[in-house]
Amino acid sequence: MFPLHRGRRLRTNESIRSLVRETTLSPSDFMFPMFIAEGENIQVEIASMPGIFRRSIDLTVKEVIELFDLGIRAVNIYVKVGENLKDNTGKEAWNKDGLMQNTIRAIKTSCPEMIVMPDVALDPYSIYGHDGIIERGDVANDATNEALVKMAVSHAQAGADFVAPSDMMDGRVLRLRQGLDAAGFQNVCIMSYSAKYASAFYGPFRDALDSAPVDSTEIPKDKKTYQMDYANRIEAIKEALWDVEEGADMVMVKPGIAYLDIVREVKNAVNVPVTVFHVSGEYAMIKAAAERGWLDHDKIMMEQLMCIKRAGASLISTYFAKEAAILLKK
């Protein structure tokens, strides 16, 4: 009756463990989120995200080249625009000479093979901090979609490989696909934030872009009317399937570690690659615990990234991308 099968045989040493390892990580599994600021030679560390910076375009380009040399093949970019450029229409979002558009051009000129996925949402450009246009006290879905199409086409004109709508408006993937195709950008891909939850894990990100909703009794105080309820599972599958039907080339689940059950559900449901966003709050918690000596930074970082990949991620958008790539190179 003594067991003939001993699982420990395949755990005897690292050589055997690596031989039978089911999941592996490489730098090409990562996408690095980058924050862009106006000016030259600007690099400002984000207080709630140690090691992450808002950079001007010139320093962003230098960083992109370093990332590419490490084997990272994609960046997801966000811009911090001046208050004087914000309004309720988001029109700065499709300015052909805007900060985002100039950043895309600079990156593609200096590092043509780096895949650039600019964020498509109006919150950095909104006086209200919401992802869309405010009408009658709420975010207007269809009017916002029209603005997002203009924004996405301007990104494609600047050289973006993907557009990455993070707004969670209904029907926006179809409108973006139609708009891109009509403008002659049939080969520009769409990575849709399909299952983006209304999460408290985004706090440091909003510090980085100053994009939190403003405190007003006249508009929604948060983003729960368009981002998903974190109590829901089936809704995530439905949203991802809708986006694929509307033309999404990739779908995203956001946040990451706290939502790995959703990652697996979506992975099982769709026939396109699944991206997972390992978000700012998840990054900040590891940094804070490691600074206090409570956790081993590198071991926790790699364990979390491996778990996200194991759950079904084809691509991981993570602020740890550069650190993890350096560690993997060693």
Catalytic positions, written as ranges = 196, 254
Only one residue has tokens 């001046």, namely 82
| Cα–Cα distance for residue pair 222/291, rounded to 1 Å | 31
3-state SS, residue 117: strand
Can you spell out the DSSP letters for 281-303?
HHHHHHHHHHHTTSS-HHHHHHH
Q: Are 62 and 111 spatial neighbours (Cβ–Cβ below 8 Å)?
A: no
3-state SS, residue 250: strand
- Among residues 123, 63, 116, which one has the least CA distance to residue 88? 123
38 labeled binding residue:
no
How many of the other CB atoms lie within 10 Å of CB of 231? 7
- Residue 117 C-alpha from the chain's centroid: 9
- Among residues 127, 105, 100, 109, which one has the least CA distance to residue 35? 100
Q: Which residues of 77-111 are buried (b: 16+ CB within 10 A; e: fewer)?
A: bbbbbeeebbebebebbbbeebbbbbbbbbbbebb
Q: Are 262 and 181 spatial neighbours (Cβ–Cβ below 8 Å)?
A: no
| Cα–Cα distance for residue pair 173/325, rounded to 1 Å | 32
Q: H or E stretch including 275?
A: strand 274-278
Residue ranges at the known binding site for Mg(2+): 239
Residue ranges at the known binding site: 239
